[in-house]
């Protein structure tokens, strides 16, 4: 298998080199099919400048330039990232300050995303962070999200909003990750194929038809791999269909259908520190014994309508979906009062979002008032069965959980003077959780039905003072909250049923910073200082072989600094970087667990990213990139008695493009972990069996080719 993969990589490498050298040897450009070099450079500069000016349009729900916004916001075009297979969210979120990406190299466990320390408790998926695609939430009403449900190729731009201003989004203390796709500009059809180590293969078929006011695009991707360890195979097929229609009076209609089918995701499990040091490529013994694996089917559809008017605009979005999961855990779960070792979950969800933005003519566009609402519903039908060594046995759990979310909010942006802007927001949220238990055995298993509800108020206020046309200062404060998810409420250490003692975390955030934007758009930088205090923060209590319980910690605090920058040092050389320094600690002298002053597990104190892109011919026909990443050590448990060691990684890539009439060709090569560093990709927080390390692979080579025909 490895020999076959090596041959394919060699073949793609030869094609890449041949195509690149062919293009280099051309002494003059094809003036009939390409713009001049000056036009290309001008277009690139305009694109970057326009990107910076429209960052805040979707991130804070106000039409406000980046430089005058009182918030920490970073945006990236996906084309700024290294080329790759696009199987992991880390590929499009790399190099954003405040964002810690924990790639588990285990497709049965979603990539963990941590934003200013929020989300570190997630046993799988994303917690405490709201994720959206084209304005439609990817997060469930209770606050959880899975990155595997996202067609990663589709977004063309990523925005990340952090800090107090994010409180206006409600149940998302960490912030917002906003993904945006770009409607097709013309009709086309494209085919691509990528391969990598361990027989990793991904094929894509994309097509679009554009006719005046109507466009429709379709995408399909097929992914297969043997995995980086034994018992780590994965199969995934994804579909996405998008249609847009421009009606009269600036009304736009957008329809989306997404389908993610992963029938086989084997789970090799995590390792102890000793096992990782002995052989990081080994698999947990229970993985084979119990045939640990997961299957996922996620389907979602949405319809969005918006209209732009001279003094107002509005948007309405409605969506619904179904997510089905079957997961085999590495234990039997045969006790009559247990929840079983096989999880069978079907989730139905739907929601409606509406927002109206008003810019009174009397204020000459100096004031905008936004009013909005979010109404969402979630229904989880959950069953648990005995794991008969890889086969589902007798029933051990049968219940239906429901979540209802009803929010209203208002947001005001007022230019007090030509230089001073004030943003203020208020949100009222009501969430209710209800569980109906059907697995009841008289005198043995009680009725664990229950319900709880949370009514919370979030607010934010921020000021931005623009010193010059290039420099601005900003500060913001805000109070928010984060409720437990339905999954986190599902288990408790003693007994079964809803955990009645788990409540919401209450968050206070403070932030100040400075922004810089060069006159010609070639440079941009942002420095933010922040402090976050929380009461009753939700943390992992116990994690045993995939069964995780949670509790409220009394108090925590986070203090830190974030720096992001990009600069066109030379027409052929672009640099960008990000650094996050954060001290995340428990703070409560009355804690029974003597945790005062200890690190919150799963969070690194330091994350640094630097990328250099070199284009020898000052355009995008060929580009070489090199990336360096550093992460400090990470505590695996509340007691801080074990740490995943710090690491520094180097990555490199080559990307080439050619054009002939209406045909476009592309090739890329990528080498990850150049120095073959042995490191831990992620940790399982408070893993009670000591298996806290999720190992990352060594040196990895991948390559891809593509062809596109435009009409």
Is residue 631 predicted with pLDDT exceeding 80? yes
pLDDT of residue 41: 38
Over residues 234-284, the pLDDT tens digits come to: 999 999 999 999 999 999 999 999 999 999 999 999 999 999 999 999 999
H-type alpha helices, 341-384: none
> Is residue 126 very low, low, confident or very high in pLDDT (cuts 50, 70, 90)?
confident
Of 533, 548, 531, 530, the closest CA to residue 481 belongs to 533
Over residues 48-64, the pLDDT tens digits come to: 444 444 444 344 555 56
536 vs 6, residue with greater confidence: 536
- Does the pTM of the predicted model rise above 0.85? yes
Main-chain dihedrals φ then ψ at residue 321, nearest 5 degrees? -170, 170
The kind and range of the H/E element at 3 are helix 2-25
Is residue 29 predicted with pLDDT exceeding 70? no
Sequence-distant (6+) residues with CB within 8 A of 29 are 36, 37
> Is residue 590 very low, low, confident or very high in pLDDT (cuts 50, 70, 90)?
low
Residue 301 tokens read as 């559809």
E-assigned strand segments in 13-165? 72-77, 99-102, 112-115, 129-133, 136-137, 155-162
208-233 mean pLDDT = 95
Scored b (16 or more CB within 10 A) or e, 632-668 reads bebbbbbeeebbbeebebebebbbbbbbeeeebbbbb
Q: What is the biggest distance separating any 2 CA atoms in the chain, rounded to whole angstroms?
A: 86
Of 548, 429, 546, 438, the closest CA to residue 489 belongs to 548
Q: Which of 6-20, 151-165, 180-194, 620-634 has the lowest mean pLDDT?
A: 6-20
Q: Which three-class secondary structure state does DSSP give residue 276?
A: helix
Q: Which of 123-132, 178-187, 563-572, 639-648 has the lowest mean pLDDT?
A: 123-132
pLDDT of residue 618: 67
Partnered with residue 104 across adjacent β-strands are: none
Is residue 106 predicted with pLDDT exceeding 70? yes
pLDDT of residue 21: 36
Q: Which three-class secondary structure state does DSSP give residue 627?
A: strand
Over residues 287-310, the pLDDT tens digits come to: 999 999 999 999 999 999 999 998
Residue 119 tokens read as 């989300």
Reduced 3-state DSSP string for 653-684: EEEEEEEECCEEEEEEEEEECCCCCCCEEEEC
35 vs 414, residue with greater confidence: 414
Over residues 575-588, the pLDDT tens digits come to: 999 999 999 998 87
User: Could you say which DSSP state residue 697 is in?
Assistant: P
Domain 2-710 matching CATH 1.20.1250.20: the answer reads no
Say how far residue 77 (Cα) sits from the centre of its chain. 15
Task: Give the span between the Cα atoms of 199 and 658, in whole angstroms.
Answer: 28
Over residues 9-19, the pLDDT tens digits come to: 444 444 443 34
> Is residue 149 very low, low, confident or very high in pLDDT (cuts 50, 70, 90)?
confident
pLDDT of residue 642: 95
- Mean pLDDT (the chain, rounded): 87
> Is residue 142 very low, low, confident or very high in pLDDT (cuts 50, 70, 90)?
confident
Is residue 430 predicted with pLDDT exceeding 60? yes
């Amino acid at each position: 298998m490895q020999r076959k993969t090596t041959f394919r990589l060699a073949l793609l490498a030869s094609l890449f080199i041949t195509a690149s050298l062919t293009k280099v040897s051309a002494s003059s450009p094809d003036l009939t099919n390409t713009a001049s070099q000056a036009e290309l450079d001008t277009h690139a500069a305009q694109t970057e400048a326009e990107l910076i000016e429209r960052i805040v349009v979707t991130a804070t729900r106000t039409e406000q330039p980046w430089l005058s916004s009182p918030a920490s916001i970073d945006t990236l075009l996906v084309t700024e990232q290294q080329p790759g297979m696009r199987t992991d969210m880390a590929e499009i979120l790399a190099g954003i300050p405040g964002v810690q990406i924990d790639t588990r190299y285990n497709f049965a466990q979603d990539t963990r995303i941590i934003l200013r320390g929020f989300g570190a408790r997630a046993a799988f998926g994303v917690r405490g962070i709201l994720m959206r695609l084209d304005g439609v939430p990817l997060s469930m009403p209770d606050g959880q999200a899975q990155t595997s449900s996202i067609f990663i190729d589709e977004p063309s731009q990523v925005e990340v909003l952090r800090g107090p201003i994010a409180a206006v989004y409600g149940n998302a203390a960490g912030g917002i990750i906003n993904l945006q796709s770009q409607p097709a500009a013309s009709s086309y059809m494209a085919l691509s194929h990528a391969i990598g180590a361990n027989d990793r293969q991904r094929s894509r078929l994309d097509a679009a038809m554009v006719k005046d006011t109507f466009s429709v695009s379709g995408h399909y991707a097929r992914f297969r791999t043997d995995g980086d360890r034994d018992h780590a195979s994965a199969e995934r097929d994804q579909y996405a269909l998008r249609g847009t229609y421009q009606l009269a009076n600036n009304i736009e209609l957008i329809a989306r259908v997404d389908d993610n089918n992963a029938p086989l995701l084997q789970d090799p499990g995590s390792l102890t520190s000793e096992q990782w040091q002995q052989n990081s490529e080994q698999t947990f013994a229970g993985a084979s014994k119990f045939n640990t694996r997961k299957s996922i089917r996620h389907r979602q559809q949405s319809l969005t309508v918006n209209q732009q008017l001279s003094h107002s605009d509005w948007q309405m979005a409605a969506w619904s979906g179904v997510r089905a999961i079957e997961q085999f855990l590495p234990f039997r779960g045969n006790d009559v009062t247990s929840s079983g070792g096989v999880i069978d979950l079907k989730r139905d969800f739907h929601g409606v979002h509406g927002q109206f933005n008003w810019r009174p003519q009397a204020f000459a566009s100096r004031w905008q008032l936004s009013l909005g609402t979010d109404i969402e519903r979630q229904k989880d039908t959950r069953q648990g069965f005995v794991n008969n060594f890889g086969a589902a046995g007798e029933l051990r759990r049968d219940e239906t959980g429901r979540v209802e979310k009803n929010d209203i909010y208002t947001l005001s942006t007022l230019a007090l003077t030509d230089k001073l802007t004030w943003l203020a927001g208020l949100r009222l949220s009501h969430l209710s959780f209800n569980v109906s238990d059907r697995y009841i055995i008289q005198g043995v298993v009680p009725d664990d039905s229950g319900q709880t509800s949370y009514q919370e108020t979030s607010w934010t206020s921020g000021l931005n003072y623009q010193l010059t046309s290039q420099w601005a200062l900003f500060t913001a404060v805000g109070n928010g909250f984060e409720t437990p998810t339905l999954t986190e409420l599902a288990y408790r250490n003693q007994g079964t049923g809803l955990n009645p003692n788990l409540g919401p975390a209450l968050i206070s955030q403070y932030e100040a910073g400075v922004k810089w934007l060069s006159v010609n758009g070639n440079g941009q930088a942002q420095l933010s200082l922040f402090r976050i205090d929380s009461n009753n923060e939700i943390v992992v209590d116990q994690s045993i072989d995939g069964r995780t319980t949670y509790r409220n910690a009394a108090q925590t605090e986070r203090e830190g600094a974030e720096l992001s920058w990009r600069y066109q040092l030379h027409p052929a050389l672009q640099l960008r970087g990000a650094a996050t320094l954060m001290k995340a600690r428990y703070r409560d002298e009355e804690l029974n667990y003597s945790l005062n002053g200890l690190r919150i597990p799963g969070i690194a104190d330091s994350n640094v990213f630097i990328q250099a892109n070199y284009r020898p011919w000052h355009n995008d026909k060929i580009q070489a990139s090199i990336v360096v990443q550093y992460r400090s050590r990470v505590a695996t448990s509340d007691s801080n008695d074990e740490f995943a060691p710090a690491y520094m990684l180097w990555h490199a890539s080559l990307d080439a493009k050619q054009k002939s009439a209406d045909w476009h060709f592309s090739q890329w090569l990528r080498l990850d972990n150049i120095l073959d560093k042995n490191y831990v990709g992620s940790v399982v927080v408070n893993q009670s069996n000591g298996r806290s390390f999720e190992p990352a692979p060594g040196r990895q080579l991948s390559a891809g080719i593509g062809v596109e025909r435009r009409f």
